[in-house]
Structure 1
Amino acid sequence: MIKINIYLLTIMIFLVFEIINVENLKKRSFYLKNSDFQYMTKGFHKNKPLKSYLSNFTTNNININYILKDNTYEGAYEIIYDKLELLKKENSDNIDHINTFEGFLEKYKEEIKKHKSCTPQVFLDIFLQFIEAFNKYRYYSFPNVHRYDESLYEWSLNFWSQLIDKKNSKFLGIENIKKIEKWKEEGHNIIIFGNHHIEADANIIKYFFDVHGSQDISRNMIFIGGHKIRTDPLSRPFSVAANLLCIYSKKYIENPPHLKEEKILFNHKSLNALRNLFNQGKQIIWLAPSGGRDRKGSDGHIKISPFDPKIIQTFHIFAKRSKVKTHFIGLALYTYNICPPPNTIDIDEIEKTRSCSYSSVSLNLGEDIFDLYPDMKESEITKNLYNYVNQLYDQIR
């Protein structure tokens, strides 16, 4: 009799506990943990901007979904903000950067809410994925050649695509994508020289190729990456989502002085890696030969910064020595309003404030400069490339 009473009491306690749990779940947003799956799976949303959308994120091979009951931007924001506050406690050396990101988060929420570019659930998902990538790569040391994290590929496109006014964006030179694909199949190298506006340019260039049916280019293109996109904790999650050949630009070589030799050695290794890539063939490489982002002038216009002749000369020498046919392509972009850079250039510091806007973007993919100027002398390559990219730029701004 005592055993039966204990058994009944146990059942009653279990039922009460289950009822309390159900009531609690009705009152708030909650998350589900599922450890039965080792790999990230895909979810789909009605308003997905691309062909697919990663709707969950993975922590140590555990899928975690946060489901918004009220489906509001404010509810999503609160969850993200709480996660960032927790992140500060776990990353005392990155508190300033996380504070900066909280300001960006607030602006991002305002923009997507105003323009209804994505649902609150999508907003929540992509920012939680950012936090996961931040944790995963916060101590990551970039090698000379970094290969992209495939699990972050679609997320990196979706994060920025929510800020793109797709209706008013302008994409020109689509027909030249097929030429690049054909050249790559034939074993040629394709070097894309372009101007540079914002930190997210690599992701927007990938987006350009992806939405025009060339995931092969989008996934395999290599971007020449500088100093800040590797050292800035807020940029790093997006940087690891792209293929990078890492190199220090000349303005960072001597700062700080005690790291100069180390940086020079790193650059030598990167140049050797670049030479090997040229010799292999089938490479698609993007770089900004200006060595940095374009800034607004005193008249409010954004002019393309001058191209560095030494950079273009280096690529031309490698192309000739490789014995592999190489194409020099021009690409102009106008992405400035999505995530404007500061007007001043500070070598020592990473940006203290970050903003964003829902805006159109424009890209214009050009042709091979050697086809346009078949009799061009080596000394004329930089000038002709710069003038050509400016012509492409004038068509989209």
Structure 2
Amino acid sequence: MEELYHNYKNAVFQSGDPLAEDIVLSNMRVALDRMSLAVKEPFEFSPYHEAIREPFNYYLFGQNYIRPLINFRESYVGNVSIFSEMEEHLKKGENVIFISNHQSEADPAVIALLLETTNPYISENIIYVAGDRVITDPLCKPFSMGRNLLCVYSKKHMNDVPELADMKRRANTRSLKEMALLLRGGSKIIWIAPSGGRDRPDPATNQWFPAPFDASSLDNMRRLVDHAGVVGHIYPLAILCHDIMPPPPQVEKEIGEKRLVSFHGTGISVAPEVNFQTATASCGSPEEAKATYSQALYDSVCEQYSVLQSAINGGKGLEASTSSVSLSQPLQSLD
């Protein structure tokens, strides 16, 4: 906690905000209080967890904590008009699915903060498919309590403790049933990262790029959407925010990773939905179709990620826009 405090303080001071000291003291006072409470009175997450907003507003707490880490003047949103298109689908009772890469524990807050002015409904109502680590780590739990979550055990950590593997599989089955019920109700926005974990830099080049998708996980999601009895739309979403809260270099089994934070630009981008029948029309077998569809979504995420990379880390800003990714800046950057 002491290390986290100093890292957070240094990051917020990087912003040059004249109120940086007050922001640090206010946010860290609340954060440390909630983290301590998470140890003294452990909160148990249900398979489907709805964001807690009272008597303590955990959603607002998470937004306030991450906001000072984002350099909004160097942050970008790709194809904001498509987010507005999604809102029309939701109004008609249809479902929207984001197939995304995953960069940091701050991903949900970054997505919500970059969309809070232009698309507040999406910003606040996304349901995130979350791995067990974000609901068991005491430093992470208070932030997770402020999000809508479908809680699953990641394949990467399924056998960390062999005697718990069967329990984890049963829990995942319950979560899938909850997801199916939610989709049947319609008007749901669900975010899932089919890679099963956070992106990591290439050890040789130290360059960040979206981790490969797991075709089976993605196909399971698609089948749930198709069988819901409600129209569903699947969109590829790219996010770039690793600098504000990077994960450890390697996947760790133990809970309690070191938290590094910094002040940096971030970005998200969405592309037109990818239709399964269209993308797999020439495939000869179900397995080929599964792999082809997964690759089509992954390729779109990578293309968008490259544009965000060029805009943020390449210093090109809005000029990084392409014919398929039109960048704009989040409105709060003008405040």
With the shorter chain as reference, the TM-score category is 0.7 to 0.9
Q: CA–CA distance in 2 between the matches of 1:137 and 1:280?
A: 32
- Tell me, yes or no, if the aligned pair for 1:228 and 1:350 is still in contact at 8 Å: no
Secondary structure at 2:142 match in 1: helix
Residue equivalent to 1:386: 298
Residue equivalent to 1:273: 178
The runs of 5 or more residues in structure 2 that have no matched partner are 282-288, 310-335
- Greater relative contact order (Cα < 8 A, sep 6+): 2
Residues 23-77 of structure 1: CA deviation (Å, up to 9, x unaligned)? xxxxxxxxxxxxxxxxxxxxxxxxxxxxxxxxxxxxxxxxxxxxxxxxxxxxxxx
Structure 1 residues 389 and 114: CA distance shift in structure 2, 3 A: closer
Q: Is 1:111–2:14 an aligned residue pair?
A: no
Structure 1 residues 191 and 127: CA distance shift in structure 2, 3 A: same
Displacement, 1:375? 5.2
- Tell me, yes or no, if the aligned pair for 1:165 and 1:358 is still in contact at 8 Å: yes
Normalising by the residue count of structure 1, what TM-score does the alignment of the two structures yield? 0.71
Displacement, 1:137? 3.4
Residues 181-239 of structure 1: CA deviation (Å, up to 9, x unaligned)? 10000111101011111111111111122132x22212211000002111110011111
Q: Which residue, 219, 228, 238 being the options, matches 1:332? A: 238
Q: CA–CA distance in 2 between the matches of 1:190 and 1:120?
A: 40
Runs of at least 4 residues off by over 4 Å: none
Trace 1:316-331 onto structure 2 (pairs within 5 A). 316-331=222-237
Q: Which residue, 91, 94, 102 being the options, matches 1:188? A: 94
- Tell me, yes or no, if the aligned pair for 1:328 and 1:369 is still in contact at 8 Å: yes
Structure 1 residues 395 and 267: CA distance shift in structure 2, 3 A: same
- Tell me, yes or no, if the aligned pair for 2:10 and 2:262 is still in contact at 8 Å: no
Trace 1:215-294 onto structure 2 (pairs within 5 A). 215-294=120-199
Residue equivalent to 1:130: 31
Q: Which residue, 44, 48, 64 being the options, matches 1:145? A: 48
Structure 1 residues 179 and 392: CA distance shift in structure 2, 3 A: same
**Matched letter for residue 83 of structure 2:** I
Q: CA–CA distance in 1 between the matches of 2:249 and 2:240?
A: 16
Residue equivalent to 2:308: 396
Trace 1:149-228 onto structure 2 (pairs within 5 A). 149-150=52-53, 151-212=57-118, 214-228=119-133
- Tell me, yes or no, if the aligned pair for 1:251 and 1:347 is still in contact at 8 Å: no
Residue equivalent to 1:376: 280
> How many equivalent pairs are there?
294
Q: CA–CA distance in 2 between the matches of 1:112 and 1:250?
A: 35
Secondary structure at 1:294 match in 2: coil
Secondary structure at 2:263 match in 1: coil
Displacement, 1:254? 1.9
Residues 214-271 of structure 1: CA deviation (Å, up to 9, x unaligned)? 2221221100000211111001111111100000011222221221221111111001
Structure 1 residues 290 and 120: CA distance shift in structure 2, 3 A: same
**Matched letter for residue 249 of structure 1:** S
Q: CA–CA distance in 2 between the matches of 1:153 and 1:348?
A: 27
Q: CA–CA distance in 1 between the matches of 2:246 and 2:222?
A: 32
Secondary structure at 1:383 match in 2: helix
Q: CA–CA distance in 1 between the matches of 2:117 and 2:253?
A: 35
Residue equivalent to 2:219: 313
Q: Is 1:341–2:247 an aligned residue pair?
A: yes
Normalising by the residue count of structure 2, what TM-score does the alignment of the two structures yield? 0.84
Structure 1 residues 237 and 349: CA distance shift in structure 2, 3 A: closer
Secondary structure at 1:244 match in 2: strand
**Matched letter for residue 81 of structure 2:** E
Q: CA–CA distance in 2 between the matches of 1:110 and 1:385?
A: 37
Displacement, 1:349? 4.0
User: How many percent of aligned residue pairs carry the same amino acid?
Assistant: 27
Trace 1:50-69 onto structure 2 (pairs within 5 A). none
Higher mean alpha-carbon deviation, 103-112 vs 143-152, is at 103-112
The runs of 5 or more residues in structure 1 that have no matched partner are 1-100
Secondary structure at 2:275 match in 1: helix
- Tell me, yes or no, if the aligned pair for 1:221 and 1:283 is still in contact at 8 Å: yes
Residue equivalent to 1:9: none
Q: CA–CA distance in 2 between the matches of 1:346 and 1:114?
A: 29
Secondary structure at 2:248 match in 1: coil
Residues 77-122 of structure 1: CA deviation (Å, up to 9, x unaligned)? xxxxxxxxxxxxxxxxxxxxxxxx2112112212322432343222
**Matched letter for residue 108 of structure 1:** Y
- Tell me, yes or no, if the aligned pair for 1:187 and 1:281 is still in contact at 8 Å: yes
Q: Which residue, 205, 221, 226 being the options, matches 1:299? A: 205
